[in-house]
Amino acid sequence: MATQTQTDCSQRPFHTKWTQFPFCPARFPFFYGWVIVAVSTLSIVCSIPGQTTGVGVFTDYLIAALETTRSRLATAYMIGTFASGLILPYAGKLLDRIGIRLMSVLSSVGLAVSLLIFTQTGSINSALSTIIPWKGLPVLVAAFSFLLIRFFGQGNMTMIGRVAMGKWFNHWRGIATAISGVPVAYAFNGAPWLLDKLIEASDWQKACFIMAAVVGVGMALLGALFFRERPEDCGLVMDGKFIDPKANKNTVIHAIHKQFTRSEAVNTVSFWAIALGLAVHGMIVTAIAFHITDIGAEMGKTRDQALVMFIYSSFISVPARFIVSYWVDNTHLRLRWVLLWQALTIGGYTAGLMFFDTTAGLWITIVCFGLAGGIWGVLCTVAFPRYFGRDHLGAISGLNMSIMVIASAVGPALFSFGKDILGSYRNAAATTLVLPAVILLLSFFTRNPQKTLKPTPA
C-alpha cells in the first residue's frame, strides 16, 4: 500500500483539482508511480515515428517521392531537426506551465497530424513546384515535414515520459528508468525491421496512417486518463513511501538541497558535460540510423542484415540499463563515472562501424551500441532531477532536448557529406571519434551541484 500524506487529492488546491478525475491515484492498491512508468514508457515508444530509427526506414521512399538525392534529403533532415531543436526550450517551459497531462494530449495529436502531412510530402512538393519552380523546393518541403515530426515525436513525446518518471521517483528513479527501458529498447531497436515489414505488407504512406492513428487516438487518450503531474498533488510521496536513511544506514539517499532554475543549471559545468554526452550519442546514433541501409550496402550487407543490428543491440542495452540503474540507485557511484563509460562505449561503436564489414567490427558495433544505449537511457532520466531538482525540470529538460535534437540534426548530414567528401562512411565515422574523447575529458570535471550545498552538521 502506498504511503499517503495528510492531504487527499480531493482536497488539493484549484490548479491540481483534476488529479482525481476520472479516478484518484491515492486510492490505488499500489504506488501510482508505477502507472506513471507504464504510460511514460508508452509515450517514449510512441515517439518512434519522429525518431531517426523510425524515419530512417522511409528515407529511400522520400528520395523517390521528392525526386531528390540522399545528400539533399539529409540536408532537409538537418534543417528540420535543427529548427525543431530551437523551439524545444519553449516546449519545456510550456510543460512546466500546463503540466504533463495536457502536454501529452497536445503532443500526441500534434505528432499524428505531422505524420499525415509527412505522407503528402511528395504531393505538396509537386503542387508547389508548379507555382515556385525552384530547385531547392524539395529540401524546403521535406525540412518542414521533418520539423513537425521531430518536434512532436523526438522532442516532446520523449521529454514528457522522462520528466514524468523523474518527478515521481527519487531513490528508485534508476530502477524505474531501467524497467521502462526494457520495452523502449526492444521497440526502438526493433522498429526499423518491423516498420520495413509493415511497408512491404502495404506501402509507406499506409504505414504512416497506422502510426498516426495509434499515437493520435491511443496515446492521447492514455495520456489524458493516466498522467499526473506530481505525487504530492495526489496525496502521495515520491517512491511511494518516505525513506529514512537513519533507519537503514545502507540506504543511499540523493538529497535535494536546492531547486535550480534553468539559468542556474546552465551555469554549471555538470549540465553541459551531461547534456553534451547525451547529445554526442544522439548525433552519431541518428547518423547511423538514418543511413543504416546505405552503410550496410557499402559494407556488403543486405538491407535486412543492416537493420537487424538494432535488434541484436537491444539484448545488450536492456541488462546494461538494469545494472547501471542499480549502481546509481543503491551505491555511491558518481554519475561522472557513468558519463565516462558513456564516452568509452560511444567511441567503441564508432570505431566498430569503421570495420562493419568484418565479423569483429560488426560485433564491436553491436555490443558497444547496446551498452551506450543502456547507459544513455539512465543518464537521460536520472541526472537532471538528481543534480537540479524537480521544480524546473521541464525547462531544464527542454533545453537538454534542444541540444540533443540539434546534435541529431547534424549527424545524418555529417555522415552524408563525409561520404561525399571523404569517399566512404568508414572515413566519415573516423572523423567523429574526437567527440567521445571530448566527453571523456569533461567527465572528470562533472560534479553533483547538490553535494556542494549539503548542510554541515552543527
Each residue of 279-338: pLDDT tens digit?
Answer: 999 899 888 877 887 888 888 887 777 777 877 888 898 899 889 988 887 777 788 999
Dump pLDDT digits (tens) for 40-83.
999 999 999 998 788 878 888 888 988 888 878 888 988 998 89
Q: Is residue 13 part of a domain?
A: no
Q: Which residue has better confidence, 426 or 189?
A: 426
Q: Is the pLDDT of residue 16 over 70?
A: no
Q: Is the pLDDT of residue 263 over 80?
A: yes
pLDDT of residue 244: 55
What's the rounded mean pLDDT across residues 215-234?
Answer: 94
CATH code of the domain covering residue 396: 1.20.1250.20
Q: Is residue 413 part of a domain?
A: yes
Q: Is residue 179 part of a domain?
A: yes
What's the rounded mean pLDDT across residues 209-238?
Answer: 94
Q: Is residue 366 part of a domain?
A: yes
Name residue 216's beta-bridge partners: none
Q: What is the largest CA-CA distance in the chain?
A: 78
**What is the torsional sign of CA 176, 177, 178, 181?**
positive
Q: Which residue has better confidence, 53 or 252?
A: 53
pLDDT of residue 458: 34
Q: Is the pLDDT of residue 247 over 60?
A: no
| Single-letter amino acid code for the residue at 294 | D
Q: Which domain holds residue 345?
A: 32-231+259-447
Q: Is residue 120 part of a domain?
A: yes
My answer on whether omega of the bond before 22 falls inside 30° of 0, hence cis, is yes
pLDDT of residue 205: 93
Domain count, the chain: 1
Q: Is the pLDDT of residue 456 over 60?
A: no
| Single-letter amino acid code for the residue at 67 | E
What's the rounded mean pLDDT across residues 16-41?
Answer: 89
| Rounded Cα distance, 431 and 428, in Å | 5
Burial class, 434, CB count within 10 angstroms (exposed 0-12 / middle 13-18 / buried 19+): exposed
Name the range with the highest mean pLDDT among 125-134, 186-195, 214-223, 314-323.
214-223
Pair 163, 225: CB distance under 8 Å: no
Q: Is residue 3 part of a domain?
A: no
pLDDT of residue 388: 92
Name the range with the highest mean pLDDT among 17-26, 119-128, 336-345, 412-421.
336-345
What's the rounded mean pLDDT across residues 233-252?
Answer: 69
Q: Is the pLDDT of residue 8 over 90?
A: no
Q: Is the pLDDT of residue 457 over 70?
A: no
Burial class, 232, CB count within 10 angstroms (exposed 0-12 / middle 13-18 / buried 19+): middle
pTM (predicted TM-score): 0.78
Q: Is the pLDDT of residue 84 over 60?
A: yes
pLDDT bucket at 109, cuts 50 / 70 / 90: very high
Q: Is residue 374 part of a domain?
A: yes
Dump pLDDT digits (tens) for 337-386.
999 999 999 999 999 988 888 889 889 999 999 999 889 988 988 889 88
pLDDT of residue 73: 87
Dump pLDDT digits (tens) for 141-160.
999 999 999 999 988 999 99
| Rounded Cα distance, 188 and 345, in Å | 19
pLDDT of residue 48: 93
pLDDT of residue 251: 53
What's the rounded mean pLDDT across residues 404-413?
Answer: 82
Burial class, 107, CB count within 10 angstroms (exposed 0-12 / middle 13-18 / buried 19+): buried
What's the rounded mean pLDDT across residues 106-112?
Answer: 97
Helix residue spans in 331-424 (DSSP H): 335-353, 359-388, 393-422
pLDDT of residue 157: 95
Q: Is residue 240 part of a domain?
A: no
